Structure 1
Amino acid sequence: MTTSQHLGRDVGAWTRIRIVAGKEFGDCLRSRWLLLGSLLFAILGLAVFFGTAAIGGTLKYQPLVTVVNSLLSLTVFLLPLLAVLLAYDAFVGESEGGTLLLMLTYPIGRVEWLLGKAIGQGVALLAVLTLGFAVLPVVQSVLAVPYGMGELLFALLRVVGTAWLLGMVFVMLAYWVSLSVRHKAQALALLLVLWFASVLLYDLAMLVVTVAGADHLGRGFVTGMMLANPASVFRLMNQAALGIVDFAVPPFMVMAGILVLWAAALFGCAYGKLKRIAF
């Protein structure tokens, strides 16, 4: 039975959400996005692990803090891009394919449809992170490294959880953009600009502002600038947990809450756009 046939039946709200979520997750499997994303993060993990070990010219494994910090620096660039590529055509693709208005005629609420998409793609994103980073405990189990398995697993769980929150912020951003443009190319181009601005240009701008105003700006202003950008929040909260931040920052859960608020606000913006589509 197809998704449209399922939605045509008299089912409850959570059943409708689950049907949409299952369809989205299935699309990730069929398109090989889940497989390729997992392989990408596995390669990233191995590159960081052995790359940091070879920094001194000999294969000497570095402390866990060094490995995780290097992993964070690459994840903050790669993960938002992966999330954007996952979700940029979530709605504009259906519009171009002629199925958007058809879907809106089915007995499913718009918030249910949006939630279903978010859950399905969110589960796929979490699976990519979990499967990708699972390669590191496997490597750790066969090599003599200067930290234990429990230490590594705890650090990876923290990275996976916070990275997933960051990824969902960009998934919600992609939904909003996807509902605001008419063509997939426009959505992808705009999202790539936003990705580039938030993960690279923002940090460069913050560095310039900090250096230029070193005599006038306090640590509180710099911290506030970092907390205004989800990518910077992700990096800051993990580096603070590793003990490599030398100034006062908000508690870990407060910064996690900031990412949740970003995702919720963008979800609300996307829902506002979806609600205004007429058929």
Structure 2
Amino acid sequence: MAASCKSTIDYWSIPLLSLNFNVRKKLALYLNPRNTVAADWVTLAEVMGFTYLEIRNYEQSENPTAKILEEWQAKRPDATVGKLLSMLEEAERKDVVEDLIDLIDEDCRKYLERLREPPVQVPEVDSCLPQTQERNGITTKDDPTGGMPELFDAFICYCQSDIEFVHEMIRQLEQTDYKLKLCVFDRDVLPGTCVWTITSELIEKRCKRMVVVISDDYLDSDACDFQTKFALSLCPGAQQKRLIPVVYKSMKKPFPSILRFLTVCDYTRPCTQSWFWIRLAKALSLP
């Protein structure tokens, strides 16, 4: 792939989730218009393996390019940046690759910087055990001498403006008969350690699931963006029901596209509000 020669990054190892809104928006500007001369989103969808009926349904979407990218990354664990670039070149849209490669490279570099410690793929099967002495004491109830690390039912991904709802979540899920154990970063994590390293450790090795508190401010949070994409990279296609999006108030901004394929626990809908905490508790109690 000619474009990849400009960078030292192995795009084939970078999940499509690493591409942010700006790149996806520009891809849509190139591919959404139906084109009789150059390949458009329909050609890309065919290369991705979508069926005729699926493509006909995607035609009804306001942004079909965004839709096929979203569906492809949800259904295919091997959906990588390198594969997307290869497909664009196969569809003879090298012009798109050449125009966007710098932005794509920047997104991939940011993704790798955040995942540098620890690596996304850990070879050891016994991932419940900490790998270094430093990580024996990262939460308030850890035994720093090397005992069993503190484990949780769920990691709570939230931004600071939503802390009151997190407190309500603690009251409803920890201080009731459910007796669930939540990992709330500001409450449970000891200061003085690398944020990205410890967050990855907690999500991958200490917590069975992750609850994502969705709000307008969540969409602007780099920390929440990293946590969500890291959790999704651990369970492609949501096969393990590992990530649970929660909406507790109305939003002005669009719901994050990378989470649209997941069932949402929505407190804003009167028809589901009565069962909100029961459904969330049951989901977090699953083995």
Q: What TM-score results when the alignment is normalised by the length of structure 2? A: 0.26
Higher helix share: 1
Higher strand share: 2
